[in-house]
Amino acid sequence: MEYTILKIKKQILDLIAQAIEPDFDIDKLEIVVPPDSTLGDLAVPCFYLSKLTRKSPTKVAEELSAKINPGGIIKALKNVGPYLNFFIDPAVLGKSVISEIQKAKNDYGRLKINHQKIMLEFSQPNTHKEFHIGHLRNAILGNSLVNLLRFSGNKVMPVNYIGDVGAHVAKCLWAYDKFYKDKDLPEDKGKFLGQVYTNGSKKLEANPDYKKEVDDILQKLESGDPKSFGGESKKWLDLWKKTRKWSLDDFDKIYKILGIQFDHFFYESEVEKPGKKIVADLLKKGVAEKSEGAVIIDLEKYDLKKFLLLKSDGSSLYSTKELALAKLKFEKFKIDESIVVVDSRQSFYLQQFFKTMEVIGFKKKMVHIPYEFVTLKDGAMASREGNVVLFKDFYNSVFGRAKIETKTRHQEWPEKKTEEVSRKIALSAIKFNMLKVGNNSIITFDIDESLSFDGFSGPYIQYTCSRINSVLKKAKFSGLAKIDYAKINSDLEKEIMLQLASWPEIVAESSKNYDPSIIAKYLFDLARLFSSFYQKFPIINSSKDIKEARLILVDSVRKVLVNGLSILGIEPLDQM
């Protein structure tokens, strides 16, 4: 489908192409939105055309304004300095855009231009540690990108790569066996393991002599075929399997709360030995080399230093396993592109890794989407383990606040409905707050701000949907009637229709930049426009033809808001 906004822009470019000589590169001609709607709805800066014609930009705009005859959706045009400004006919615009939205419904804005098979890896928590708000941003961002890239026409496979082996696991198993094995287990075993790991780390810092014991456990876990283990090694493997399941079960509960699903799970334990084999082959071929007992690949000529592939004691590293994981992804699942969401601290490491894959001849499309930290406005909200804010404490605090607000507003609601609405509001507050800023911006989470019904927040967008739903229900709106689109012709109504028309471009831009914050900002702007319209114009208490036109307009706003919220992983609410 060629959306209205694209048709309008194509018409503008065609009109200019017919009116000017010589031929020009159409891709270099910008179409922008003027800062003031009184100047026009869309504008073309004439600086590029000025260079081609060797005339001033203002002169070019004047000549084009005199030559071009408007028609169709282009109602009028005029030059303002070096800009050629176009005015859109609101009746033609309304009929075109609103008809598109009403026909496409949940598919309005969907793109069909890419058709790539993408594997998107995100979340990546470590077993034997607690899930904290750093993990939360990764999970929410990754899930939104899955939705966004699917909406943009790609086939997307969401996967999770869980760190279930390594030094942190050995440390946790050591601490559990040494200090906790005879104690009663609490109900929340995932949180318990996080406490074991944290306390074990503190004891190791206090007594470095324990390090050899931990290293010995790590060696046992990494050596040989688990099925053939016996004696001491089997003891640690059995403990690893048991405690690993505690963590994985805990993660599943969290993903269920967040509404996140994965098509496949990878585990570090399954790619460790294949990774070591790849390193051995690279060493044999002379691509990798020994350095002080460790195995490295020299990337100095690429200004990427030396990349460590294996420790001097033979223990694997993240990079060891990553080599096998990359091959497994592309060879088994036949993907076109691998995207990985990992925090910005790993940016240099991933530059090294991607270059290493090129050097060894594995030239596939791999993309890193970095993100920054999450902090809190104050530290008094939740308990901390290991100096991090745990997801469950964080979520329960936001949910608790949402429930208090919901009960205050709707004391007549049954408990089940209060709980359900509070859950959706809390998740909206958390997810929108995590997505409303660019990936490379640090997030400072403020509960009051995130739960606001009239600020830049998820609940504000939900509230707008709820308010529109209330209007439509009261008016007994049932769908598209014979509409006189000339009745929605105010500047504000036209601004709303232009905003609705721009939705497909917003989707394309957000997808191209892997940036859901573009969607979040758009939804907020659209909700604010509706709020201004709602306060300024009567909807139900209007004449029949105006009422019908305005109802179809606000229903179109609701449909686009719901589409946008679904990309962010947020559920709309019919009542708040």
Report residue 431 as tokens. 């997810």
Minimum mean pLDDT among 330-344, 372-386, 526-540: which range? 372-386
The pLDDT of 528-539, averaged and rounded, is 96
Q: Look at residue 70 and give its three-state secondary structure.
A: coil
The per-residue pLDDT for 25 is 85
Q: What angle do CA 106, 111, 114 make, to 5 degrees?
A: 140
The per-residue pLDDT for 448 is 87
365 and 402 in a single domain? The answer is no
- 341 in a domain, yes or no? yes
CB 497 within 8 A of CB 37: no
Report the CATH number that the domain containing residue 189 is assigned in CATH: 3.40.50.620
- 103 in a domain, yes or no? no
Q: Of all residues in the chain, what percent carry a pLDDT higher than 70? A: 96
Helix ranges (H only) for 207-267 are 211-222, 231-258
Q: Is the pLDDT of residue 231 over 70?
A: no
Q: Which domain holds residue 514?
A: 389-568
The pLDDT of 55-66, averaged and rounded, is 95
Residues 6+ apart with CB under 8 A from 206: none
- 331 in a domain, yes or no? yes
Sheet holding 289-291, edge to edge: 289-291, 294-298, 306-310
199 and 154 in a single domain? The answer is yes
The pLDDT of 166-180, averaged and rounded, is 93
- 378 in a domain, yes or no? no
pLDDT band at 234 (very low <50, low <70, confident <90, very high): confident
Q: Looking at the 3D structure of the chain, how many domains does it have? A: 3
Minimum mean pLDDT among 46-60, 111-125, 498-512: which range? 111-125
355 and 460 in a single domain? The answer is no
Q: Is the pLDDT of residue 485 over 50?
A: yes
Q: Is the pLDDT of residue 388 over 80?
A: no
The per-residue pLDDT for 270 is 94
123 and 236 in a single domain? The answer is yes
163 and 208 in a single domain? The answer is yes
- Residues 93-103 pLDDT 10s: 999 999 999 99
Q: Is the pLDDT of residue 55 over 90?
A: yes
Report the CATH number that the domain containing residue 501 is assigned in CATH: 1.10.730.10
How confident is the prediction for the chain on average, in pLDDT? 92
- CA 462/CA 451 separation, integer angstroms: 11
123 and 83 in a single domain? The answer is no
pLDDT band at 398 (very low <50, low <70, confident <90, very high): very high
Q: Look at residue 409 and give its three-state secondary structure.
A: helix
The per-residue pLDDT for 378 is 66
Averaging pLDDT over each range in 6-20, 194-208, 512-526, which range is the top one? 512-526
- 513 in a domain, yes or no? yes
- 553 in a domain, yes or no? yes
The per-residue pLDDT for 230 is 54
The per-residue pLDDT for 385 is 42
222 and 330 in a single domain? The answer is yes
Q: Of all residues in the chain, what percent carry a pLDDT higher than 90? A: 79
Residues 6+ apart with CB under 8 A from 414: none
Q: Is the pLDDT of residue 297 over 90?
A: yes
pLDDT band at 58 (very low <50, low <70, confident <90, very high): very high
pLDDT band at 379 (very low <50, low <70, confident <90, very high): low
The per-residue pLDDT for 182 is 87
134 and 202 in a single domain? The answer is yes
- CA 88/CA 325 separation, integer angstroms: 52
148 and 269 in a single domain? The answer is yes
Minimum mean pLDDT among 225-229, 409-413, 425-429: which range? 225-229
Averaging pLDDT over each range in 11-15, 138-142, 194-198, 376-380, which range is the top one? 138-142
Q: What is the 3-state secondary structure (H, E, C) of 300-331?
A: HHHCCCEEEEECCCCCECHHHHHHHHHHHHHH
- 292 in a domain, yes or no? no
Q: Is the pLDDT of residue 314 over 60?
A: yes
pLDDT band at 391 (very low <50, low <70, confident <90, very high): very high
Cβ atoms within 10 Å of 1's Cβ, excluding its own? 14
395 and 499 in a single domain? The answer is yes
Report residue 276 as tokens. 């070591």
The pLDDT of 382-410, averaged and rounded, is 82
- 308 in a domain, yes or no? no
Report residue 388 as tokens. 């991090």
Q: Is the pLDDT of residue 227 over 70?
A: no
What does 165-222 look like in DSSP terms, one character per residue? SSHHHHHHHHHIIIIITTSPPPS-HHHHHHHHHHHHHHHHHH-GGGHHHHHHHHHHHH
The per-residue pLDDT for 382 is 37
CB 530 within 8 A of CB 554: yes
- Which amino acid, one-letter code, is at 255? Y
Query: What separation, in Å, do the N-terminal and C-terminal C-alpha atoms of the chain show?
Result: 35
Q: Is the pLDDT of residue 393 over 80?
A: yes
The per-residue pLDDT for 511 is 96
194 and 262 in a single domain? The answer is yes
